[in-house]
């Protein structure tokens, strides 16, 4: 049985541009590439804190203020990206008539306590919601694409994965400023490989554990070795990043030491 997410629509409104679009920009012609491109729906979830750390007792007010700020930002943004506030006319043009973009304010029931387990006793909001989405996607995909030899629809799982883009500034060994220039982003990927089994085996707590495991792996500071030439050009110098516990095991591996000499660790 698919997991149901209770979503309460609090407010739905159309956000207009903060200033009218000039008349000479009212008709935006789509390029040949836009006209022939496949129509793909890109799902995107944006997570925002419910309240700042110093306003725990004032969640409702903090949320309302944040919503108003997002709405004001959207109306200013639409002025610069005015086609997004228009309507498609035919197949080759967007009528930039400032009709606006729809903004929906909703609330999702808390899931963190439901998906907590001995493995992940305190799941984050992102982990909890991601687990529900992944579970429901697996169930929908299995039901819509699986059938047996008699042509009857079945609900068997297929291998799948779920990825998160992560800001590695917050997990770096040395503290890094938030305004540091550079793409300090990594991707965690959790795999679900119970292929051929019934969708009834999907357990939210187990899915959260898989997501947490993938996130922890990324926090190992990109457990990816980098190979470089030695200064004399006759050897290879690998750079390996591991936790202290795993590094101790790695450096004492007899098979590794048979082919390599160990350099002193880089101090942090």
Residue 90 domain flag: yes
167 phi-psi bin (left φ>0, alpha ψ -120 to 50, beta other): beta
Whether residues 122 and 104 fall in one domain: no
- The CB-based long-range contact list for 20-25 (8 Å cut-off, 24+ gap) reads 20/98, 21/79, 21/82, 21/85, 21/86, 21/96, 21/97, 21/98, 25/82, 25/96
Residue 1 domain flag: no
Whether residues 233 and 245 fall in one domain: yes
Residue 125 domain flag: yes
Sign of the alpha-carbon dihedral angle for 112, 113, 115, 120: positive
Comparing 193 with 94, which gets the higher pLDDT? 94
Whether residues 180 and 134 fall in one domain: yes
Among 42-46, 238-242, 250-254, name the most confident range: 250-254
Whether 138 contacts 202, CB under 8 Å = yes
- Domain containing 246 equals 223-268
Contacts of 8 (CB under 8 A, 6+ apart): 106, 107, 108
Final residue of a structural domain among 108, 136, 159: 108
What span, in angstroms and rounded, lies between the C-alpha atoms of 40 and 34? 12
Residue 123 domain flag: yes
Comparing 180 with 81, which gets the higher pLDDT? 81
Residue 181 CA, distance from chain mean position = 21
Residue 2 domain flag: no
Whether residues 209 and 229 fall in one domain: no
Final residue of a structural domain among 108, 125, 149: 108
Per-residue CA distances from 82 to 15, 62, 92, 144 (Å): 12, 29, 16, 38
Contacts of 35 (CB under 8 A, 6+ apart): 91, 92
Whether residues 251 and 187 fall in one domain: no
Whether residues 103 and 200 fall in one domain: no
Give the CA-trace dihedral at 88, 92, 95, 100, to 10 degrees: 30
Whether residues 187 and 243 fall in one domain: no
Q: Does position 99 have pLDDT exceeding 90, yes or no?
A: yes
Whether residues 124 and 207 fall in one domain: yes
Whether residues 101 and 20 fall in one domain: yes
Whether 15 contacts 74, CB under 8 Å = yes
Final residue of a structural domain among 108, 143, 173: 108
Q: Does position 211 have pLDDT exceeding 80, yes or no?
A: yes
Whether residues 102 and 13 fall in one domain: yes
Q: Does position 268 have pLDDT exceeding 50, yes or no?
A: no
Whichever domain contains 85, its CATH number is 3.30.559.10
Residue 239 domain flag: yes
Q: Enter the tokens of residue 108.
A: 């999702």
- Which residue has 């305004």 as its token pair? 179
Polymer length of the chain = 268
Residue 203 domain flag: yes
pLDDT band for 26, please (50, 70, 90 cuts): very high
Q: Enter the tokens of residue 188.
A: 């965690």
Whether residues 96 and 43 fall in one domain: yes
Lowest mean pLDDT among 148-152, 161-165, 248-252: 148-152
Residue 198 domain flag: yes
Q: Which stretch of DSSP H or E encloses residue 35?
A: helix 32-36
Q: Does position 72 have pLDDT exceeding 80, yes or no?
A: yes
- The CB-based long-range contact list for 195-198 (8 Å cut-off, 24+ gap) reads 195/156, 195/157, 195/158, 195/159, 196/156, 196/157, 197/156, 197/157, 198/155, 198/156, 198/157
Number of domains in the chain: 3
- Which residue has 């070795």 as its token pair? 225
What span, in angstroms and rounded, lies between the C-alpha atoms of 197 and 204? 16
Whether residues 250 and 267 fall in one domain: yes
Q: Does position 56 have pLDDT exceeding 70, yes or no?
A: no
């Amino acid at each position: 049985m698919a997991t149901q997410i209770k979503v309460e629509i609090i407010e739905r409104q159309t956000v207009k541009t903060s200033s009218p679009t000039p008349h000479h920009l009212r008709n935006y012609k789509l390029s040949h590439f836009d006209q022939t491109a496949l129509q793909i729906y890109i799902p995107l979830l944006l997570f925002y804190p419910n309240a700042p750390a110093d306003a725990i007792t004032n969640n409702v007010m903090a949320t309302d203020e944040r919503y108003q700020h997002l709405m004001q930002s959207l109306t200013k943004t639409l002025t610069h990206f005015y086609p997004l506030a228009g309507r498609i006319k035919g197949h080759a043009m967007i009528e930039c008539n400032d009709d606006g973009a729809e903004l929906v304010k909703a609330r999702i029931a808390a899931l963190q306590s439901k998906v907590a387990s001995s493995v992940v006793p305190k799941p984050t909001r992102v982990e909890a919601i991601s687990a529900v989405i992944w579970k429901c996607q697996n169930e929908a995909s299995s039901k819509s694409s699986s059938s047996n030899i008699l042509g009857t629809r079945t609900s068997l799982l297929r291998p799948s994965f779920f990825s998160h883009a992560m800001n590695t500034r917050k997990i770096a060994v040395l503290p890094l400023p938030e305004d540091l220039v550079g793409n300090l982003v990594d991707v965690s990927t959790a795999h679900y490989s119970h292929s051929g089994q019934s969708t009834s085996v999907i357990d939210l707590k187990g899915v959260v554990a898989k997501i947490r495991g993938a996130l922890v792996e990324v926090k190992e500071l990109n457990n990816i070795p980098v190979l470089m030439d030695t200064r004399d050009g006759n050897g290879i110098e690998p750079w390996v990043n591991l936790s202290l516990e795993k590094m101790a095991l790695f450096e004492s591996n007899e098979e590794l030491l048979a082919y390599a000499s160990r350099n002193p660790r880089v101090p942090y």
